[in-house]
A and B are shown apart, each in its own frame.
Chain A
Amino acid sequence: MDRARLSHLRELEAESIHIFREVAASFEKPVLLYSIGKDSAVLLQLAMKAFYPAKPPFPLLHVDTTWKFRDMYRFRDEYVAKELGLELLIHINQEGLAAGVNPITHGSRKHTDIMKTQGLRQALDKHGFDAAFGGARRDEEKSRAKERIFSFRDGQHRWDPRNQRPELWNIYNTEIHRAAGINRAAGTRGESIRVFPLSNWTELDVWQYIMLEKIPMVPLYFAAMRPVVYRGGVPIMVDDHRLPLEPGETPQMKMIRFRTLGCYPLSGAIESNATTLPEIIREMLETKLSERQGRVIDHDGAGSMEEKKKEGYF
């Protein structure tokens, strides 16, 4: 018995690989939603493992809000596209861009809705993807805790939390109605599935796996001296000239890092001296706050994550 017992991480890894393969075998056009953060990094590693020695049989898609940190773009272009040699699609909501939508003047809610949610829907429709992998985990947030691993979306990409498909054992219902021929031409879109291979992973699992597998990460997760201003007591990094400074406000250099990475003025940093993975993990275990507390999006209102997901946010 004991000889055959896998470590917890290897068990999670095996489950995720199983999910990747099910999707690749059952859908016509899957895509991996790649957001450059730690969960995406783990997702990518698992995709590489699932199809080894082949490369993953689907492209990566980054829905770019144009407001990511510069370190993130560098990592995306140099490591993922060049070094791993994977097909990486980048989509920007051009209408939003033309209208100048940004988190500073439009607020987080509008910015996220237009540049992220709408952008994602545009990209999925444009390429006709019928399955999209995301790196969401159930332990992130309480409406996520309710979601299936294979999460059904109607033709408008909507999630209906009151009517989810039963999901038993490791048998996944992969049946969807695809808009075919004449319907597709007429602009009717088919149903699709969002797939979350990391559903059963916790934040600790993710970090421990990154450590175990030595997965390269965006440097922003590690503490360093960086220019910040404080907004509502939260350190906000001044990544470029786009962040308007209040009168009299001057950026100061602080040892900071990020627990989650989103759009830059929306992601609060934490003051920290953790420059290594074990230190990051220790801080995480000792904190009294949840992972999403640095993200403005979940505080937009009670149940805001749920509302966004109903609209097609992943």
Chain B
Amino acid sequence: MRADQAERELISRDIEEYLARHERKDLLRFLTCGSVDDGKSTLIGRLLHDTHMVHEDTLAAATRDSKALGTQAGELDLAFLVDGLKSEREQGITIDVAFRYFTTAARKFIIADTPGHEQFTRNMATGASNCDLAILLVDARHGISVQTRRHAFITSLLGIGEIVLAVNKLDLITDSSGAFSQDRFNEIVRAFEEFSTRLPARNIRAIPMSALKGDNVVERSAQTPWYSGPTLLEHLETVPLGGHRNHVDFRFPVQWVNRPNLDFRGFAGTVASGCVKPGDRVMVLPSRRTTTVKQVVTFDGDLNEAHPPLSVTLTLADEVDCSRGDTLVHPGNEPHVSQDVSAMVVWMDDAAPLVPGKEYILKHGPHKTPASVVRIAHRVDVNTLDRSPAPALALNDIGEVAIRTSRPLVYDAYTRNRGTGAFILVDRLTNMTAGAGMLLDPSEADGGNWTSAPRATHLAPSAQVITPDERAKRLGQKPFTLLFTGLSGSGKSEVARAVERRLFDLGRFGAVIDGSALRSGMSRDLGFTKHERSENLRRGMELARAMNEVGLIVLASFTAPDASVRARARELVGGDRFALVHVSTPLDACRRRDPSGLYAAAARGSVKDVPGLDLDYETPTDADLALPMQEIGAGEAGVRAAVERVMAFLETRGALVR
């Protein structure tokens, strides 16, 4: 273990000062990943070698091995500094993750060098799970491969916010002057950016490199005059460490009840997130009993407060029932508590696929419970990121599943809280760690609240006092819901309003539910992502159903861009009293009209997630009625004609009686 010149001087001059500084250095955990043979281990070997972190005897041993196996024509194979298993050196591949530790004057690092081979994806996930940054390597000759995409996707699922795209082996692709090819570099960067726009936003830094020769790893390369960014090491030493720790929501999963004698009863555990102090009111979940924290006990004396990732022991003011697997939280800031959860799962068992119905052991922090997968919501194609239905998840598959546990989980969404949002599934027969799961907020799940079970478990159905027949007679109509879908500016709200007027004039009762109007009231907490749009429609449809219950005809106007979400709306309201009306105005026309100024704002770049632009609008193939406004006509006359078509439709569906 050696250091740069200034540090070396400090070590020999004032070792205690050096140690004090060393202790205050930041720690960055990162991994190397990417497809097989792209140069990950070579890169780590190069990094350790060029920062003088390799001891002489270790280097001599690696050189001997390289000679014996002849992988680099007798030269030192840098990968041998990390490929620590015999079969790895013999086969020239990495099988399992190697953890390496190194320090520079600026920072401490923990490196996980992970295998690229698809067969060992689970070892890659093992290495990645605790990292803050991922170096994704790409062999410049081969470009982005399926495995590159798979690793990019897994690092994204695991919440790694910093990516280095290391375009490696550029020494093999040079231009006429012998310099590394800038065109090839740009081409690969563009291809990666195109893919990663479909993933949650992250910081991406692309670096042209040769791990073998050491270009832009520690030393700046003379072969990349066109590149002015940092070398890899410079970047690693300076990249901001946002940290993934949640300092807001106090969560303390109890690991161990410490009871050495009758006078002491302490609850030992690791603070997963947030902060706790003596005197804090706390609630035990799932039992919901409350009490007060008496002391925060440690071997080194009581603390005034405890933060993650401290391991402490809490004593409580009252004799509450609390044991391993329970969670302490602050009342009023409570996590989800449920036996029905949704999660993204990476499947790791080569012996058996994940199948619905099979029971596993689910381990979530110190909590362990039998659990079974109720449903596979979808599988994600790692190449295209498209979702599709799947009967099972095989080895290395990634998908969203709905799980039912025997005992409730106390959890947060993984994106909000890594400490309480992760779990593993263990096969009951083989004891193999079969899957890794990242819990979703109920609203983000495929299906969101459309499919989640009600939180309250004792709901009494209300008794009907007026029959639907009585209502139909009085109102001269049968309850019905029309869902008008279409792009912003297609005219769907105008048509809905006009139909409401028309019904009123005929002595009937229609009611408009307008998607954007809901957002100022019952949906004021929602934005415009896919999930939030879905949830807004769900609320609208719950309202429609309630209005249908009292006999009204509902005219619901929502963009509703997702076909699957529209299908859920149909299901929720009930197929026999529901119809989908597609107001199909072409995008150009909508843009010209732009009644709400949305398209203008998008053009300025001040709004995102606009259906038809950067968010997909899935054109309905199951519309019960289409209103091609372009053909029907513009202006008031057009709207009148559309109303006629809607009225005729309602007539044929028997919504208007008498």
A binds B: yes
State in angstroms the CA–CA spacing of A279 and B557 once bound together.
Answer: 77
User: Which of A82-90, A201-209, A228-236 is found at the contact surface with chain B?
Assistant: A201-209
**Any chain A CB within 8 A of the CB of B575?**
no
CB proximity of B120 to chain A, nearest CB, Å: 10
| Interface flags, B270-308, vs A, CB<8A=1, else 0 | 100001000000000000000000000111100000011
Chain B residues closer than 8 Å to A278, beta-carbon distance: 15-16, 19
CB atoms of B15 and A281 under 8 A apart? yes
Per the CB 8 Å criterion, the residue count for chain B at the interface is 86
CB atoms of A9 and B12 under 8 A apart? no
Within 8 A of B (CB), among A5-44: 6-11, 13-15, 17-18, 21-22, 24-25
CB atoms of A282 and B15 under 8 A apart? yes
User: Which of A60-68, A116-124, A158-166, A263-271 is found at the contact surface with chain B?
Assistant: A158-166
Given contacts A15-B309, A168-B424, contact A145 B86 (CB under 8 A): no
State in angstroms the CA–CA spacing of A179 and B431 once bound together.
Answer: 14
CB atoms of A10 and B424 under 8 A apart? no
State in angstroms the CA–CA spacing of A5 and B535 once bound together.
Answer: 38
Chain B residues closer than 8 Å to A279, beta-carbon distance: 15
Residue of A nearest to B427 (CB): A175
Of listed A142, A166, A202, A204, residue having the most chain B CB within 10 A:
A166
Given contacts A166-B122, A168-B126, contact A50 B311 (CB under 8 A): yes
CB atoms of B56 and A161 under 8 A apart? no
Which one of A166, A203, A211 contacts B126 once the chains associate, using CB atoms below 8 Å?
A166
Within 8 A of B (CB), among A290-309: 290, 293, 302-303, 306
Chain B residues closer than 8 Å to A293, beta-carbon distance: 55, 57
**Any chain A CB within 8 A of the CB of B1?**
yes
Given contacts A166-B348, A169-B129, A175-B426, contact A208 B23 (CB under 8 A): yes
State in angstroms the CA–CA spacing of A279 and B12 once bound together.
Answer: 9
CB atoms of A146 and B98 under 8 A apart? yes
Residue of A nearest to B258 (CB): A54
Chain B residues closer than 8 Å to A4, beta-carbon distance: 245, 247, 275, 307-308
CB atoms of B98 and A142 under 8 A apart? yes
Given contacts A21-B311, A49-B299, A208-B19, contact A7 B424 (CB under 8 A): no
**Any chain A CB within 8 A of the CB of B11?**
yes
**Any chain B CB within 8 A of the CB of A285?**
yes
Of listed A161, A162, A175, A289, residue having the most chain B CB within 10 A:
A175
**Any chain B CB within 8 A of the CB of A105?**
no
Residue of A nearest to B129 (CB): A168
**Any chain A CB within 8 A of the CB of B268?**
yes
CB atoms of A21 and B268 under 8 A apart? yes
Residue of A nearest to B84 (CB): A142
Which one of B8, B55, B110, B324 contacts A288 once the chains associate, using CB atoms below 8 Å?
B55
Residue of A nearest to B81 (CB): A142
CB atoms of B3 and A285 under 8 A apart? yes
Which one of A164, A171, A211, A282 contacts B96 once the chains associate, using CB atoms below 8 Å?
A164
| Interface flags, B72-83, vs A, CB<8A=1, else 0 | 000000000111
**Any chain A CB within 8 A of the CB of B97?**
yes
CB proximity of A164 to chain B, nearest CB, Å: 6
CB atoms of A169 and B123 under 8 A apart? no
Chain A residues closer than 8 Å to B373, beta-carbon distance: none
Within 8 A of B (CB), among A115-163: 138-139, 141-146, 148, 161-162
Chain B residues closer than 8 Å to A255, beta-carbon distance: none
Given contacts A18-B255, A25-B256, contact A6 B307 (CB under 8 A): yes
State in angstroms the CA–CA spacing of A171 and B366 once bound together.
Answer: 8
CB atoms of A22 and B255 under 8 A apart? yes
CB atoms of A25 and B56 under 8 A apart? no
CB atoms of A9 and B23 under 8 A apart? yes
Chain A residues closer than 8 Å to B299, beta-carbon distance: 48-49, 52
Within 8 A of A (CB), among B334-360: 348
CB atoms of B1 and A171 under 8 A apart? no
CB atoms of A145 and B99 under 8 A apart? yes
Given contacts A166-B125, A169-B129, A288-B56, contact A52 B298 (CB under 8 A): yes
Chain A residues closer than 8 Å to B424, beta-carbon distance: 166, 168, 171, 173
CB atoms of B95 and A289 under 8 A apart? no
**Any chain A CB within 8 A of the CB of B264?**
yes
| Interface flags, B409-437, vs A, CB<8A=1, else 0 | 00000000010001110100001110010
**Any chain A CB within 8 A of the CB of B64?**
yes
Given contacts A171-B424, A173-B363, contact A139 B23 (CB under 8 A): no
CB atoms of A52 and B313 under 8 A apart? yes
State in angstroms the CA–CA spacing of A273 and B234 once bound together.
Answer: 37
CB proximity of B65 to chain A, nearest CB, Å: 6
CB atoms of A18 and B311 under 8 A apart? yes
CB atoms of A302 and B61 under 8 A apart? yes
Work out how many contacts link A and B, with CB atoms closer than 8 A.
200
Chain B residues closer than 8 Å to A176, beta-carbon distance: 431
**Any chain A CB within 8 A of the CB of B513?**
no
What size tier do the contact residues of chain A reach? 35 or more
**Any chain A CB within 8 A of the CB of B25?**
yes
CB atoms of B55 and A18 under 8 A apart? no
**Any chain A CB within 8 A of the CB of B108?**
yes
CB atoms of B65 and A138 under 8 A apart? no
Given contacts A139-B101, A166-B122, A166-B436, contact A171 B364 (CB under 8 A): yes
**Any chain A CB within 8 A of the CB of B27?**
yes
| Interface flags, B584-628, vs A, CB<8A=1, else 0 | 000000000000000000000000000000000000000000000
**Any chain A CB within 8 A of the CB of B2?**
yes
CB atoms of A7 and B100 under 8 A apart? no
Given contacts A18-B270, A285-B1, contact A169 B363 (CB under 8 A): no
Within 8 A of A (CB), among B112-135: 122-123, 125-126, 129-130
Residue of B nearest to A213 (CB): B300
**Any chain B CB within 8 A of the CB of A95?**
no
Which one of A6, A24, A141 contacts B310 once the chains associate, using CB atoms below 8 Å?
A6
CB atoms of B310 and A170 under 8 A apart? no
Within 8 A of B (CB), among A196-246: 199-200, 202-204, 208, 211
**Any chain A CB within 8 A of the CB of B146?**
no
Residue of B nearest to A45 (CB): B299
CB proximity of A163 to chain B, nearest CB, Å: 9
**Any chain A CB within 8 A of the CB of B177?**
no
Chain B residues closer than 8 Å to A142, beta-carbon distance: 58, 81-84, 98
Which one of A48, A165, A285 contacts B432 once the chains associate, using CB atoms below 8 Å?
A165
Chain B residues closer than 8 Å to A99, beta-carbon distance: none
Chain A residues closer than 8 Å to B3, beta-carbon distance: 285
Within 8 A of A (CB), among B451-467: none
State in angstroms the CA–CA spacing of A281 and B18 once bound together.
Answer: 11
**Any chain A CB within 8 A of the CB of B87?**
yes
State in angstroms the CA–CA spacing of A8 and B241 once bound together.
Answer: 15
CB atoms of B57 and A290 under 8 A apart? yes
CB atoms of A285 and B11 under 8 A apart? yes
State in angstroms the CA–CA spacing of A1 and B123 once bound together.
Answer: 32
Residue of B nearest to A19 (CB): B311
CB atoms of A145 and B309 under 8 A apart? no
CB atoms of A168 and B422 under 8 A apart? yes
Which one of B27, B65, B126, B348 contacts A8 once the chains associate, using CB atoms below 8 Å?
B27
State in angstroms the CA–CA spacing of A17 and B300 once bound together.
Answer: 13
Given contacts A52-B313, A282-B12, contact A168 B125 (CB under 8 A): yes
Chain A residues closer than 8 Å to B423, beta-carbon distance: 171
Of listed B57, B299, B364, residue having the most chain A CB within 10 A:
B299
Given contacts A145-B84, A288-B56, contact A17 B311 (CB under 8 A): yes
CB proximity of B348 to chain A, nearest CB, Å: 5
A–B pairs, 15, beta carbons within 8 Å: A1-B247, A6-B309, A7-B24, A8-B108, A14-B270, A25-B256, A139-B100, A145-B98, A145-B100, A282-B15, A284-B1, A287-B55, A288-B2, A293-B55, A306-B85
19 further contact pairs, Cβ within 8 A, besides A53-B297, A138-B99: A18-B309, A50-B268, A53-B260, A54-B259, A138-B101, A141-B84, A142-B82, A164-B123, A165-B432, A165-B433, A166-B348, A166-B433, A281-B15, A288-B56, A289-B57, A302-B64, A302-B65, A302-B86, A306-B84
Closest 5 CB pairs of A and B: A142-B84, A54-B260, A290-B55, A17-B311, A168-B129
